[in-house]
Structure 1
Amino acid sequence: MSARRILKPSVQVEAGNTVSFEFDGQQYQGLKGDTLASALLVNGVKALARSYKYGRLRGIMSAGAEEPNALVQLEKGAFSTPNVKATQAELYQGLIAERTSGRPSLHFDYKGMIGSVGKAMMPPGFYSKTFKWPPKLWPTYENVIRQFAGFGSTPEVGDAEWYDHLHHYVDVLVVGGGLAGLQSALNVAENGLKVLLVDEQAQLGGWLLSDASSRFDGISGAEYAASLAEKLKQHQNVTVLTRTTAFALHDHNLIQAVELLQDHLPLGQRNPDQPRQRLHRIRADKVILASGAIERPLVFGNNDTPGVFTVSAAQTYLNRYGVLLGDKIVICGNNDEIYLAARDLAQAGAEVIVADVRSRSSIPAYISKQVKVHLATGIAQVNAGKGQVHGVELIDLKSGGKQSVACEVVLSSGGLSPTVHLYCHDTSRPLWDAEKMAFVVPDKYENCKPTVCNVGAVTGSKTWQQTLAQTADILKAFLADRGIQADIEMPKVVEEKHQAMELAVRLPDGKPAGKGAKAFVDYQNDVTAEDIKITIQENYRHIEHVKRYTAFGFGTEQGKLSSVNSFILTAEAMGVPVEQVSTTTYRPAYTPVSLGVLAGLDAGDTFDPERITAMHESHVARGAEFEPVGQWLRPWYFPKASEDIHAAVNRECLAARNGVGVMDASTLGKIQIDGPDAREFLNRIYSNAWSKLEPGKCRYGLMLDENGMVMDDGVTACVSEEQFYMTTTTGGAARVLSWLELWHQSEWPDLKVWMTSVTDHWGTIAVVGPKSRQVLQKLCNDIDFSAEAFPFMEWKAGTVAGLPARVFRVSFSGELAYEINVEAGYGHYLWEQVIAAGAEFDITPYGTETMHVLRAEKGFIIVGQDTDGSVTPIDLGMGWAVGMKKPFSFLGKRSLARSDTARSDRKHLVGLFPQDTNTVIPEGAQIVADANIKVPEAGGYDPKVPLLGHITSSYYSAFLGRSIAMAVITDGRNRIGQTLYAFSQGKLIPFTVADSSVFVDAKGERQHG
């Protein structure tokens, strides 16, 4: 028979409250309070997935976050969520779930067809051994591997829900809502401390909810948990967050936790005004880690067959969800939990056989005669067929004799593995305790970390009595450490006694090595016990190497079921103690975390601060297309009618060269530098001299880092003897200000100088082109704009369109140009006045793309595009901007004298002409000298061919009627006139190295007017 519902008073599902849902296109019904896993099991759904490597059918194995197999895709469209564990998904009306593996279907799977040849095709490290040659096929290999990976699909439309963040500051954070966690939170709160308790489940209680036999002050575990939960709910010092998983514990006791606020609600009942999930960032003086333990399964042949579970999963499904997994059950283990489970299952009506691997002295008295017990017996293998359990082959561990037993469910328990993940997130390691047969964390207060103490099963406690005693000791010591003398009251517990365990992982199958059925250690990544042996034989001996070579502990399971078994098997294969092998590194996140909740409200329009200038609405009204630049939303180009970007940019460029154009330049970084030592400060920051710059004059400067490489550039104006006005690149403004403050505060604190960011204070309009002077003369009567009175690289104060303004005669286009600066609030008004004044000259607004073309025609660089952190001013042909002979040092000066930096054959910035005048070479294209290189069929690049450099800027120039480009090329200035080739997308594009990177007005006559 299949699983069936056994309802009793302790279960958390609501009898009669039916919930309809869909899985893989089939309709089913469950009860309110079910998880998707419990509902599928009671409906007889045993197989949910196909395994990663071998395509083997897999079913639900556990009941919590440790589940390795049952990954599902929940919902569709804008609500689609991949890789949710069915064991953690709460059932709700109308839920839609799909499998995430099995192609083309779950029961007819391509990978499953490889069957017996799978081991030969995919041994340990198969991805390193199998797919290296021929190199050109790697893209094909990669695509196939990704198709067969067996995980969910990224949603194809935007998320319909939203997420937020919340910060907490508390005295104590308790992680875990089991017995130890509940007692810790209550006792600490009653002693006056502010407490936050988080637990990943919807109902507090942990294992108390699954233990049907123990009594606490005379009531059941579930009732006792409910009573503690109610006390916490009423306590003014306590905040309780259920459905909240602490997934990371960082330095300084910063804990991150995700709360699922609406994931358990039907889509139609979710409140759009509330977030779906919330990320909690918690700062706590002390973290009490009560994260419990996870039962680890035994390893035996075909232990991945649907119908094989952990013992604790069967108890949870029965006692919490009222689901009896089957009528004929075999239980195998090395601890007394197998007998408690046998009693519960037998009382529910199942026929139970227990195979105890220990040679124990007696069978517990509470085991009825209906339960058959075999001592010193293990499971050799599961007998499977058609994707489900048919029976098991038991093996006598003393004689080696075997017997077959018919059953439909197999349960196993190899002991408990404390959930130490959070404890280890700061690189701490748990220690192997041979008596507890587990990797544990300190259980005494004096041995705990200063900021974290541990209580309950995470320390290796195996009984309720041990847990309560250890928790009481920790709490007394913790409170005493804070000057609080407290009496810790704990309940009276009645529980069954437990006999000692015997360490067991891989059960023998009585067959020669490598000849038996596959025995899996990691179910999600198809790692077998034999794989670990092979890895050791191939001389991978560090546990981190073993992990990566076999791939155990990867994926969403993160080693919760597999890691400790893998450590023990590695130790056995190496013939060393388990403690010598130790553990791998546990890292955040403990369980999968959605990208949405990590982003929170930083999504869509709020992903990054969106900065707009005062002229923005004018740009919108004129149909501008925008691009983000350093958080600023800048006009990209202004299309007219049906123009595409190319037509619009060509028109804008010609207008600026032949008539007049106007650009919003407000986004340029602007830093005001004040103080009697301002000149000296600039001398040290810039590579050229500033001592003699007079008020009213401007100078272009290059800013270098300590290595002598260009990091920013801009024009700085002298306002007065003790005040300068520096401009930077739009994207570099914040970085430059931080750079100035760094050097002033850490290296030159004696200089009397201070910096103020004034980027937002000024609105800047660049009026560019041969007719720009005429436009300014219409707007301003108190400035003489003649070339003699107002020469290039000067600035003047005056009144423009009735507004106090600073007018700079500078140019980033190589044309006669002026930059008008007014208080930012007047920017919109001034823009409209400039447009009106220039109407008779057909003034044309232009955007950043046109700006790029104009400056490239003039050979002006853009830092970060034509430079990459490895380019000096000399490489750029801008030695004129470096004062190596000036009597003071500047940042980067010493580095420019290094032998490598000073050599003459470095990469140089040069101009180039594509031989096909209409071909615009893709930026980033690599440059080679040989036209006869072999172009790989896959479109890749032959690594044996020397690369000379790359294209940094490339455009079509409407003014020149041809394409142009700039590039950094090895020994470029000595290659003038040579034909070289740009390699891009499998094609070679010939070009000629130009004798200059200045394509328009090499003598500068246009900008001087």
Structure 2
Amino acid sequence: SQNRWPALAFDVQSVNGLLAPFLSAGFYYKTFMGPTRRAWMFYEHFIRKAAGLGRAGTDPDPDRYDISHAFADVAIIGGGPAGLSAARAAAAAGARVALIEQDFLLGGQLLAEPPDSAAAAWLRQAEAELESSETVTLMKRTTAFGIYDGNVIGLVEQRDPTDPQPAGEVLQTFTMLRAPSIVFATGAIERPMVFSNNDRPGVMLASAARTYLNRFAVLPGKKIIVATSNDGAWRAAFDLADAGAEVTVADLRAAPPAALAAEAARLGVVVRAATRIVDLRGGHAVGRVTLNGPDGQSEAACDLVCVSGGWSPTVHLTSHLGVKPQYRDDIGGFVPGAFPADRFGAGSMMGNYSTADAIEDGHRAGIKAASFCGESAPVPAPSKLDLRETATAPLREIPSLGRGKAFVDFQMDVTTGDIELAHREGYESVEHLKRYTTLGMGTDQGKTSNFPALAAMATLRNATIPETGATSFRPPYTPVAIGALAGRAIGHHFKPIRRTPMHDWHMANGAEMLEVGLWMRPYFYRQSGRDVNEAYVAEMRTVRQAAGLMDISTLGKIDVQGPDAAIFLDRVYANGFAKLPVGRARYGVMLRDDGIVFDDGTATRLAENRFFMTTSTAKAADVLSRLEFLLDTAWPDLRVAVTSVSDEWAAMSVAGPKSRAILSAAFPALDVSDAALAHIGLLESEWESRALRILRLSYSGERAYEIYVGATAGEQLWGRLLEAGRPFDLRPYGVEALGALRVEKGHVAGPEIDGRTTLDDLRLGRMAGKRTGFVGDVLRRRPAMLAPDRQCLVGLEAIEEGKRLRGGAILFLPGDKPYGHGRGRVTSVTFSPERGHYVGLALLAGDVASEGSEVVAIYPMKAETVRARIVSPVFLDPQGERLHG
């Protein structure tokens, strides 16, 4: 018990039983609503605390989990007689079989039979045969919790706690099993009976009592009442009586089978026909029951009540992919509807409750499942097992005649009174009933309560059960530990960690690393400052005044080649590439189909039919997938191949006014003059017998060069550049300084290319000009995309000295009421050593985005308000002299 105070024997909250008339179904929808709008937030805390639900722990999970994949021809879910028979037949036919059983023993309900019975002998023979088969995998302690597209079965396997395994071993394994054919042999769940006070300790299902006795050698009571509507509970009564208990059977039927009555007489079991329990007395344990029979009401002393209201086929898993349950009046329950060709049902989940029928049913299903997979070897007839079971009579809802609560859903505390109230208030639909009363919304999904509730509602509506309907079942069938779904993907294993070829150097030389997508990149270097704010400004100054070295290996790198490569890039990018000369690079922007900017990068023409494309770090995988998708679907006629070469190249950038001198020192044999390597030019050569590729491209606004070499030589070349650059004060810089440098230059990045902006929003519309025929061209011209009040890129400077802008601040005009989303937002901010104060990029409504105007930047997280002036987004070298100098 998890919700009792101060102790289970004395729970203060038991006073709620006296308040029950005021806490009816849906009471929280009708009360505790005032006196203010926020009152419910106060009441909710106490209501939820008293609701009886557990609290998820916040400490790290000490257990370990794993994920695996498995394959079989035939997957059989359920290790009872039907499942065992199906597995034997499918294996004999030649199929590879996976038999899944959530218990640690096979057998299902056969485990409740006496150990010296014929059922136990049949079970031992079947299990031995399957264990000796090379084509059968027995998956015990394994729960099938969901069926998914493509016949993928979600399984969770529990480690055997008796295995002598060291601490830290895997507790649960989440397995994805794929099988062309599935046999469902999931059995049936015994239903409770509904009567007053039926939630008291000492009330259990008849099958549970029989399992305690025959499987675990525990006699759960000495003076027992067995209340039933079917034959199955009589067998429990006989076994309990044979073990020495004093047993009375109260059967709802007026004339139970004569064979059962004769056996009861032989064992001394008292039989009371046409009798039901209407009430029960007892607090901490069962004491007496009130019976209602042909001679009126009477009381009987007892210490255990065993109930059996029939059986509900377990149709949950079959429902996961859309097989609708259908009602069978002869069994009083729902069975699966028509299966698709690759799935089969067997046993009691199909309404075949006798063991003999279940074995025959499983045998047929196993043969059909194997045949579907192309396996049709001769299969011998199944071994017989007749437990002499007789027919089961279905139970309809019986009104409770006692004065206490009669529970239908024991987990969610839903009573017959709650169902009656829901009916009176108009919640007659099954789904409305479920949500209004919380019926079946616990972790068990109403496995024992759904049918009694449906029957009760059908009675109240004066309708049939099929007319009343059935609820929907969704995965998981039973609760699954989140840790099992995660497997090993936790902590550093949550996602792949990618490291550049120079990673070890960064770690050894004071780099503070930062996760950027899947990559670990230098955030800043400790030798540059005490913290990131001090370090990135120092690194910026180094780049602006001397030179900086940046690891850019994380950029996406894609090789595009083929006779139609230029045509392809002309369609992919908003700006043209068909006429790009060999040996030159170009900045390009890709759009989505809807005209929104997708990614930006560069493409360099290596040869007439070959290009070297770079993408942003974040979108590298997405861009490659997009290119492959377009070639497969939109333009399959184009003769183009795209290949990711991101891991093949180590890449580094040397930026700053002294960058050319450093390259000349590092590669004295190369001509890196303006004439030989102009801005956006390409130089290909070799270094230490390795291919060397140098592009003159800049992200910082300074003269800069991107240098590419084979990944295995990356750290060696990095060291060579640092050595050559030492006389020129070359120093490494991190991504924080890189982002700050690009803000000063007015270059857009992720904060601006956020999936909502167009070329025109980013002041890049001139790149496309009047071109047509590229991805996103048509939809980027929609009227809403060209509206004058669309937010567009602007620069911002704080007006008041000492004030700083913040990324994410909301922009308003000085006369605006500061409410809602405002006129725009600040996207990127940095301290500018060139300007001596903070500057920022923002997206601001175009109809008010005139340079020189004033806006107010409000940052609610810190309650800050800053006056700012709209300026050009290019804060540094608007003419580009530093790039070309």
Q: Would the TM-score normalized by the shorter structure come out above 0.5?
A: yes
Question: In the alignment, which of 235, 239, 243 is matched to residue 348 of structure 1?
Answer: 243
Contact 2:93–2:367 (8 Å) recurs in 1: no
Question: In the alignment, which of 498, 503, 508 is matched to residue 395 of structure 2?
Answer: 503
Residue by residue over 1:209-248, the C-alpha shift from the partner in whole angstroms, topping out at 9 and shown as x without a partner, is 11239x8xxx442333123212221223322121111222
The alpha-carbon deviation at position 955 of structure 1 amounts to: 3.6
Match of 1:89 in 2: none
Match of 2:269 in 1: 371
Residue by residue over 1:79-99, the C-alpha shift from the partner in whole angstroms, topping out at 9 and shown as x without a partner, is xxxxxxxxxxxxxxxxxxxxx
Match of 1:489 in 2: 382
Instruction: Specify whether residues 374 and 972 from structure 1 end up closer, same or farther in structure 2 by C-alpha distance, changes over 3 A only.
Output: farther
1:780 aligns with 2:780: no
Say which is worse superposed, 524-533 or 471-480, in terms of deviation: 471-480
Residue by residue over 1:630-671, the C-alpha shift from the partner in whole angstroms, topping out at 9 and shown as x without a partner, is 322222222239822222223222222232211100111111
Amino acid at match of 2:341: P
Question: In the alignment, which of 99, 113, 127 is matched to residue 211 of structure 1?
Answer: 113
1:992 aligns with 2:868: yes
The alpha-carbon deviation at position 623 of structure 1 amounts to: 2.5
Match of 2:430 in 1: 543
The alpha-carbon deviation at position 803 of structure 1 amounts to: 5.7
Amino acid at match of 1:198: I
Distance in 2 between the 1:879 and 1:477 partners? 63
Residue by residue over 1:291-331, the C-alpha shift from the partner in whole angstroms, topping out at 9 and shown as x without a partner, is 11110111222222222211111111121112222223332
Instruction: Specify whether residues 693 and 192 from structure 1 end up closer, same or farther in structure 2 by C-alpha distance, changes over 3 A only.
Output: closer
Residue by residue over 1:702-728, the C-alpha shift from the partner in whole angstroms, topping out at 9 and shown as x without a partner, is 100111100000122222332222110
Contact 1:522–1:562 (8 Å) recurs in 2: yes
Distance in 2 between the 1:133 and 1:718 partners? 71
Distance in 1 between the 2:623 and 2:679 partners? 26
Instruction: Specify whether residues 135 and 840 from structure 1 end up closer, same or farther in structure 2 by C-alpha distance, changes over 3 A only.
Output: farther
SS at match of 1:640: helix
Residue by residue over 1:389-411, the C-alpha shift from the partner in whole angstroms, topping out at 9 and shown as x without a partner, is 33333334x68x54343333222
Match of 1:197 in 2: 99
The alpha-carbon deviation at position 576 of structure 1 amounts to: 1.9
After the TM superposition, which residues 298-377 of structure 1 pair with which residues of structure 2 at under 5 Å, given as runs? 298-360=193-255, 364-368=261-265, 370-377=268-275
The alpha-carbon deviation at position 434 of structure 1 amounts to: 0.6
Instruction: Specify whether residues 134 and 331 from structure 1 end up closer, same or farther in structure 2 by C-alpha distance, changes over 3 A only.
Output: farther
Gaps of 5+ in 1: 1-48, 50-99, 511-515, 935-943
TM-score, normalised to structure 2, is 0.92
Question: In the alignment, which of 167, 171, 175 is matched to residue 77 of structure 2?
Answer: 175
Instruction: Specify whether residues 803 and 479 from structure 1 end up closer, same or farther in structure 2 by C-alpha distance, changes over 3 A only.
Output: closer
Instruction: Specify whether residues 795 and 186 from structure 1 end up closer, same or farther in structure 2 by C-alpha distance, changes over 3 A only.
Output: same
Distance in 2 between the 1:220 and 1:920 partners? 84
Distance in 1 between the 2:794 and 2:43 partners? 40
Distance in 2 between the 1:972 and 1:660 partners? 40
Distance in 2 between the 1:680 and 1:687 partners? 12
Distance in 1 between the 2:844 and 2:23 partners? 46
Question: In the alignment, which of 347, 354, 363 is matched to residue 463 of structure 1?
Answer: 354
Instruction: Specify whether residues 296 and 879 from structure 1 end up closer, same or farther in structure 2 by C-alpha distance, changes over 3 A only.
Output: same
1:431 aligns with 2:326: yes
Contact 1:298–1:504 (8 Å) recurs in 2: no
SS at match of 1:708: coil
The alpha-carbon deviation at position 837 of structure 1 amounts to: 1.8
After the TM superposition, which residues 122-133 of structure 1 pair with which residues of structure 2 at under 5 Å, given as runs? 123-124=25-26, 126=28
Contact 1:329–1:353 (8 Å) recurs in 2: yes
Distance in 2 between the 1:458 and 1:160 partners? 35
Match of 1:390 in 2: 287
Distance in 1 between the 2:674 and 2:498 partners? 36
Distance in 2 between the 1:104 and 1:951 partners? 54
Residue by residue over 1:563-586, the C-alpha shift from the partner in whole angstroms, topping out at 9 and shown as x without a partner, is 222222232333321112332222
Distance in 1 between the 2:84 and 2:537 partners? 71
Match of 1:938 in 2: none
After the TM superposition, which residues 375-454 of structure 1 pair with which residues of structure 2 at under 5 Å, given as runs? 375-385=273-283, 387-396=284-293, 401-441=296-336, 448-454=339-345
Distance in 2 between the 1:898 and 1:798 partners? 47
Distance in 1 between the 2:6 and 2:764 partners? 62
Distance in 1 between the 2:234 and 2:210 partners? 11
Contact 2:830–2:839 (8 Å) recurs in 1: yes
Contact 1:782–1:799 (8 Å) recurs in 2: no
Residue by residue over 1:777-827, the C-alpha shift from the partner in whole angstroms, topping out at 9 and shown as x without a partner, is 211224444456543222223456886422222111122221111122211
SS at match of 2:602: strand
Contact 2:657–2:702 (8 Å) recurs in 1: yes
Question: In the alignment, which of 692, 700, 704 is matched to residue 587 of structure 2?
Answer: 700
Distance in 2 between the 1:139 and 1:634 partners? 44
Contact 1:536–1:570 (8 Å) recurs in 2: yes
The alpha-carbon deviation at position 182 of structure 1 amounts to: 1.5
TM-score, normalised to structure 1, is 0.81
The alpha-carbon deviation at position 1006 of structure 1 amounts to: 2.9
Match of 1:908 in 2: 792
Distance in 2 between the 1:691 and 1:480 partners? 57
Match of 1:251 in 2: 149
Residue by residue over 1:22-74, the C-alpha shift from the partner in whole angstroms, topping out at 9 and shown as x without a partner, is xxxxxxxxxxxxxxxxxxxxxxxxxxx2xxxxxxxxxxxxxxxxxxxxxxxxx
Distance in 2 between the 1:246 and 1:678 partners? 49
Match of 2:777 in 1: 893
Distance in 1 between the 2:47 and 2:455 partners? 30
Amino acid at match of 2:127: A
Instruction: Specify whether residues 903 and 413 from structure 1 end up closer, same or farther in structure 2 by C-alpha distance, changes over 3 A only.
Output: same
Residue by residue over 1:262-316, the C-alpha shift from the partner in whole angstroms, topping out at 9 and shown as x without a partner, is 4x238xx423585333333322232222111110111222222222211111111
SS at match of 1:230: helix
Amino acid at match of 2:74: V
The alpha-carbon deviation at position 1004 of structure 1 amounts to: 3.0
Amino acid at match of 1:372: V
Distance in 1 between the 2:589 and 2:35 partners? 48
SS at match of 1:276: strand
The alpha-carbon deviation at position 384 of structure 1 amounts to: 3.2
Distance in 2 between the 1:108 and 1:928 partners? 60
Distance in 1 between the 2:44 and 2:862 partners? 20
Distance in 2 between the 1:973 and 1:1000 partners? 24
Question: In the alignment, which of 219, 237, 242 is matched to residue 140 of structure 2?
Answer: 242
Amino acid at match of 1:425: H
Amino acid at match of 1:315: R
CA RMSD of aligned residues (A): 3.0
Match of 2:636 in 1: 749
Instruction: Specify whether residues 465 and 821 from structure 1 end up closer, same or farther in structure 2 by C-alpha distance, changes over 3 A only.
Output: closer
The alpha-carbon deviation at position 459 of structure 1 amounts to: 0.9
SS at match of 1:691: coil
Contact 1:543–1:584 (8 Å) recurs in 2: yes
Residue by residue over 1:825-871, the C-alpha shift from the partner in whole angstroms, topping out at 9 and shown as x without a partner, is 211001111112222333221222221122122221113x2233221
Number of equivalent positions: 878
Match of 1:674 in 2: 561
Residue by residue over 1:579-614, the C-alpha shift from the partner in whole angstroms, topping out at 9 and shown as x without a partner, is 123322222221222233323343443332222111
Amino acid at match of 1:204: L
Distance in 1 between the 2:196 and 2:813 partners? 61
Say which is worse superposed, 401-410 or 228-237, in terms of deviation: 401-410
Percent of aligned positions that are identical: 35
Distance in 1 between the 2:202 and 2:807 partners? 57
After the TM superposition, which residues 523-534 of structure 1 pair with which residues of structure 2 at under 5 Å, given as runs? 523-534=410-421
1:734 aligns with 2:734: no
Amino acid at match of 1:892: G
Instruction: Specify whether residues 922 and 577 from structure 1 end up closer, same or farther in structure 2 by C-alpha distance, changes over 3 A only.
Output: farther
Contact 1:955–1:964 (8 Å) recurs in 2: yes
Distance in 2 between the 1:697 and 1:133 partners? 72
Contact 1:306–1:388 (8 Å) recurs in 2: yes
Distance in 1 between the 2:276 and 2:448 partners? 19
Distance in 2 between the 1:265 and 1:128 partners? 51
Instruction: Specify whether residues 544 and 673 from structure 1 end up closer, same or farther in structure 2 by C-alpha distance, changes over 3 A only.
Output: same
Residue by residue over 1:870-889, the C-alpha shift from the partner in whole angstroms, topping out at 9 and shown as x without a partner, is 21011112222222x23x42
The alpha-carbon deviation at position 208 of structure 1 amounts to: 0.8
Distance in 1 between the 2:35 and 2:720 partners? 67
